[in-house]
Amino acid sequence: MSEQAPVALRGLTKKYGRITAVDDVSLTVNEGDVYGYLGPNGAGKTTSLRMMLGLITPTAGEARVFGKDPQRSVEALAEVAGFVEAPRFYPYLDGITNLRLVAALDGNSAETRIAEALDLVELSDRAGDKVGGYSHGMRQRLGIAGALIRSPKLLLLDEPTTGLDPGGMRDMRALIGRLSAEGMTVMLSSHLLAEVEELCNRVAIVRSGRIVYEGELDEMRAAAGLTIRLRTSDDEVALRVLAGRRGISDVVRHGTAPIQFRAADETAIGELSRALADSGALILELAPSAATLEDLFFELTEGEGGAAAEAKRLDELSDPIRGPQ
CB atoms within 10 A of CB 273: 13
pLDDT at residue 64 greater than cutoff 50:
yes
Q: Are 8 and 175 in contact (CB under 8 A)?
A: no
Does 22 have pLDDT greater than 60?
Answer: yes
Residue 309 pLDDT greater than 50, yes or no: no
**Across the strands, what pairs with 94?**
130
The DSSP bridge pattern shows strands 226-232 and 185-190 to be unpaired
Single pTM value for the model: 0.72
Q: Which of 82-86, 248-252, 294-298 has the highest mean pLDDT?
A: 248-252
CB of 39 closer than 8 Å to CB of 205: yes
Q: How confident is the model at residue 2, as a pLDDT?
A: 47
Q: Nearest-5° angle of CA 36, CA 42, CA 44?
A: 55
Which of 52-56, 118-122, 288-292, 295-299 has the highest average model confidence (pLDDT)? Answer: 52-56
The top-level CATH class assigned to 226-290 is alpha beta
Q: What is the pLDDT of residues 110-154, one digit of tens each?
A: 889 999 999 888 899 999 999 999 988 888 889 989 998 988 999
The mean pLDDT value of the chain amounts to 84
Q: Where are the domains of the chain?
A: 7-216, 226-290
Average pLDDT over residues 41-70: 91
What order do you get walking across the sheet with 60-64 strand by strand? Answer: 19-29, 7-16, 60-64
Q: Taking Cα atoms as reference points, which of 111, 181, 101, 171 lies closest to residue 138?
A: 171
Class of the CATH-defined domain 7-216: alpha beta
Q: What is the pLDDT of residue 293?
A: 73
Query: What is the per-residue pLDDT across 266-279, written as a single tens digit (0 to 9) for each?
Result: 888 899 999 999 99
Q: Are strands 7-16 and 60-64 parallel, antiparallel or unpaired?
A: antiparallel
Contact 157, 45 (CB under 8 A): no
Q: How many CA atoms lie within 13 A of 275 on its CB side?
A: 17
